[in-house]
């Protein structure tokens, strides 16, 4: 235990749980939304095809290799393991893990993501995957028989792990290891930053997905997570229509999408376009953590 007694431990757990909650509240206080699960699921269903396309790029594959290498470094012998992949998306990690593991349970609230994952898995001849179309927030471990069920509970960049409760549930589902990745520090996105400034006349900031909160919370709980950071950069060039849809879905996490907001959004995207394409440039650091339960 990192702290001298149970009182000190509980005090620090509460401190970081509250800090994490406040970081999420900053998001909602900035511009109205939205812990609206249905809205979030709709967004990811809308983005499934484009998101899946981007994950086939070289930089995305490099990140997959880095994650698998980090698991190996931490002593997570995935061969023959049972794995739960929370927020699996189109299967960036599900399929590589399934090629090593005995079986992978792939959970995602967006049905379109799971359909893409199924198609990919079939094409690659991977059949040891169970597909679960459900939000992590709504999973009841005892009813599923998932208490201490999995050798590895894996959660990469998923908004499903968003507070102390969802993190504790992740830990309770594991009988071996947990892996969690989040952003580290402020991420830069040229389009989001410019659009936010245009709409609200202020700089955009959202640290609710920062690794600092779950890392310190896990440590305060008495675990000793290994931590590694990687830098990630990518560029997307998409049509005016695709970019408008992506930015609309992003904004919906912060504000109501009124006709006035849509008009400003469309005007912004058109002005950013060159020959019908809009360039999105993203740079961020990603924190990866692994701990044994």
CATH number of the domain within which 224 lies: 3.40.50.150
Name the token pair of 218. 């896990």
Name the token pair of 278. 């809009």
Could you tell me which residues are beta bridge partners of residue 282? 189, 234
List own/partner pairs for 96-103 with CB under 8 A and 24 or more apart. Answer: 96/64, 96/68, 97/152, 97/154, 98/126, 98/128, 98/129, 99/124, 99/126, 101/128, 101/152, 102/128, 103/128, 103/129, 103/130
With respect to residue 254, please indicate whether it lies within any of the assigned structural domains. no
With respect to residue 88, please indicate whether it lies within any of the assigned structural domains. yes
With respect to residue 148, please indicate whether it lies within any of the assigned structural domains. yes
pLDDT of 30 reads 45
With respect to residue 113, please indicate whether it lies within any of the assigned structural domains. yes
d(CA 100, CA 154): 14
With respect to residue 245, please indicate whether it lies within any of the assigned structural domains. no
With respect to residue 250, please indicate whether it lies within any of the assigned structural domains. no
pLDDT of 31 reads 44
Burial of 24 (0-12, 13-18, 19+ CB in 10 A): middle
pLDDT of 4 reads 64
Cβ contact 150:82 at 8 Å: yes
Going from the first residue of the chain to its last (293 residues), give the mean pLDDT of each consecutive group of 10, the final group possibly shorter.
73 95 65 60 81 74 93 96 97 96 97 96 97 96 97 96 96 98 94 95 88 97 96 92 92 87 96 97 96 98
Q: How many alpha carbons lie under 13 Å from residue 210 in its C-beta half-sphere?
A: 20
DSSP line for 40-89? HHHHHHHHHHHHHHHTTSHHHHHHHHHHHHHHHHTT---TT-EEEEET-T
With respect to residue 210, please indicate whether it lies within any of the assigned structural domains. yes
| pTM recorded for the entire structure | 0.90
With respect to residue 273, please indicate whether it lies within any of the assigned structural domains. no
Domain hosting residue 138, numbered range: 6-189+204-233+286-292
pLDDT of 252 reads 84
Nearest to 109 by CA among 158, 173, 169: 158
Q: Domain tally for the chain? A: 1
């Amino acid at each position: 235990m990192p702290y001298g007694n149970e009182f000190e431990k509980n005090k620090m757990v509460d401190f970081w749980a509250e800090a994490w909650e406040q970081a999420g509240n900053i998001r909602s206080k900035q511009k109205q939304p939205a812990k609206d699960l249905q809205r979030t699921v709709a967004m990811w269903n809308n983005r499934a095809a484009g998101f899946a396309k981007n994950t086939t790029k070289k930089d995305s594959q490099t990140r997959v290799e880095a994650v698998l290498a980090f698991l190996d470094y931490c002593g997570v012998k995935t061969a023959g393991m049972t794995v739960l992949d929370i927020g699996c998306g189109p299967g960036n990690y599900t399929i590589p893990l399934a090629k090593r593991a005995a079986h992978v349970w792939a959970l995602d609230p967006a049905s379109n993501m799971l359909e893409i994952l199924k198609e990919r898995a079939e094409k690659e001849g991977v059949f040891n995957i169970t597909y679960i179309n459900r939000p992590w927030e709504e999973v009841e471990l005892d009813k599923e028989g998932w208490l201490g069920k999995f050798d590895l509970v894996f959660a990469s960049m998923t908004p499903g792990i968003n507070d102390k409760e969802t993190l504790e549930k992740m830990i309770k589902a594991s009988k071996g290891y947990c892996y969690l990745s989040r952003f580290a520090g402020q991420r830069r996105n040229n389009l989001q930053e410019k659009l936010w400034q245009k709409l609200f006349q202020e700089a955009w900031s959202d640290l609710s997905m920062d690794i600092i909160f779950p890392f310190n919370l896990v440590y305060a709980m008495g675990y000793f997570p290994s931590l590694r950071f990687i830098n990630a950069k990518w560029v997307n060039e998409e049509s005016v229509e695709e970019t408008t849809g992506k930015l609309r879905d992003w904004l919906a996490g912060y504000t109501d999408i009124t006709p006035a907001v849509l008009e400003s959004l469309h005007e912004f995207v058109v002005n950013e376009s060159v020959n019908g394409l809009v360039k999105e440039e993203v740079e961020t650091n990603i924190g990866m953590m692994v701990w044994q339960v």
